[in-house]
Amino acid sequence: MFETWEYLLRHPDVVTTWAVDHLIIIAFAITISSIIGIAVGIFISVPGREALADSVLYLAEIVMTIPSMALFGLLMLILGGLGLSSIGFLPAVIALIVYGQLPILRNTHIAIKSVDPHMIEAGRGMGMSPWQILFKVELPLSLPVILAGLRNSIVLLIGITAIAALIGAGGLGVPIFRGLRNARMDLIIIGGVTVSIFALIIDGFMSLLERWITPRGLKQG
């Protein structure tokens, strides 16, 4: 334990770099992942596309069973073949975008589908166009659940980013792996504890956000 503090105090810049790298990767990945996830989620929720929705969701589920290291490896191969940088930032972010899909997709889909059809009918009766209904009725009502999906996704991605350190992406996985390899407990603790705190803080923050955003009329209990 003592060693941990020692290390921290002696190399604050290194630790910060790891942390910052980690956050940058996440920020990138989650932004792109959400845009894609929500857009596709809206797309498959249009009535009549149930079969498509089923297939897309099932596909995303299957993708989740691919161990992250495998996906990294695959991406390295593909990117290398395309002549792009095959280690580090790029494959990590792409893999994260892929993994972040399922929670966001699924939650967006469920949320939109569970909007009370009466409200949509009321909107139509008032003369709203489908786009207006989407943005003024369905999305606001779905927001809490979509945010929950986002939350799940971010937490997941924080974890996978740590693993991405293996392929040179940097981040808080670096001290963890190094520590494991060299039996340096202080490094393990720095990496492990910091990344855990990140995850918990972001999870907690997003929970509060969800609650804050839930329109008062929808809050349960």
Partner 1 sequence: MKRQVVLITFLAILLGITVWVTGQGKIGIYSTFTWEQILYCSWSHLKMVVVAVAIGTIIGVPLGVLVTRPGFTRLAIPVIGGANIGQTIPSLAVIAIMAPLLGFGFNSAIVALFIYGLLPIVRNSFTSIRNIDPAIIEAAKGMGMSRGQIARRIELPLARPVIMTGIRVSTVITVGTAELAVLVGGAGLGKITLTGVFARETLIILQGAAPTAAMAIILGFILETFEDWMTPRGLKIDKQK
Binding residues vs partner 1 (CB under 8 A): 58, 62, 65-70, 72-74, 76-77, 155, 158-160, 162-163, 166-167, 173, 176-177, 179-180, 183, 185, 188-189, 191-193, 195-196, 199-200, 203
Q: What are the start-end ranges of the H helices in the chain? A: 2-10, 12-44, 50-64, 68-82, 89-113, 117-125, 130-133, 139-164, 173-182, 185-213
In terms of CB distance, is 73 or 140 closer to partner 1? 73
User: Cβ 166 to partner 1, closest distance in Å?
Assistant: 5
Q: Are the CB atoms for 132 and 83 separated by under 8 Å?
A: no
Q: Which is nearer to partner 1, 126 or 183 (CB)?
A: 183
Contacting residues for 57 by C-beta, under 8 A, at least 6 apart: 44, 102, 105, 106, 109
Tokens of 53: 């929705």
- Least distance to partner 1, CB of residue 90, Å: 15
Using the minimum distance from each CB to partner 1, give the nearer residue, 70 or 119.
Answer: 70
Cα-atom radius of gyration of the chain, to the nearest Å? 21
Choice between 77 and 119, CB closer to partner 1: 77
Q: Which is nearer to partner 1, 42 or 199 (CB)?
A: 199
What are the residues whose beta carbons fall under 8 Å from the beta carbon of 8, sequence distance 6 or more?
15, 190
Which whole-number Å values give the CA distances from 75 to 12, 33, 35, 92, 101, in the listed order? 33, 17, 21, 8, 17
Beta carbon of residue 138, minimum distance to partner 1 (angstroms, whole number): 26
What is residue 215's three-state secondary structure? coil
Q: How far is the CB of 143 from partner 1 (least distance, A)?
A: 22
Task: Supply the minimum distance, in Å, between the C-beta of residue 122 and partner 1.
Answer: 27
183's torsion region: left (phi>0), alpha (psi -120 to 50) or beta?
Answer: left
In the complex, the smallest distance separating the C-beta of residue 78 from partner 1, rounded to whole angstroms, is 9
Q: Which is nearer to partner 1, 123 or 171 (CB)?
A: 171
Alpha helix positions (H), 11-49: 12-44
